[in-house]
Amino acid sequence: MSFRLVVEAEAEAEITEAAAWYDAQIKGLGTDFIDAVRHALETIQRNPYQYQVIRKRRQVRRIGLRPFPYGLMYVASEQEVVIIACVHGRRNPRRLRSRTR
């Protein structure tokens, strides 16, 4: 079963910002970052429940964007997966509280 995928505007902006930063460091690295995001999206669209719940109250899950120190935070329901954030692994996760549904 394939779940409908929704990327919230804030998450999309964070992905774009991170890709631009990586591309400014080394030409082409931003493209590699976007490829890691695409791979993660394909993976969770197929089976979003394979990743651990990191916030129990809202059932927020996280998938890592290897080899980058980022992760996509998402919420899965019966028919859709909503990407709520793209966060650096060293940032405080409390800043995401207002984004969870």
Total Cβ atoms within 10 A of residue 39: 13
**CATH numbers and ranges of domains, the chain:** 4-99 (3.30.2310.20)
pLDDT band at 23 (very low <50, low <70, confident <90, very high): very high
1 pLDDT above the threshold of 70: no
* pLDDT at position 71: 95
pLDDT tens digit sequence for 33-81: 999 999 999 999 999 999 999 887 789 999 999 999 999 999 999 899 9
- For the entire predicted model, the pTM comes to 0.86
The pLDDT mean for the chain works out to 89
Which strands make up the sheet holding 70-76, listed edge to edge?
4-7, 80-88, 70-76, 60-64, 53-55
pLDDT for 55 equals 80
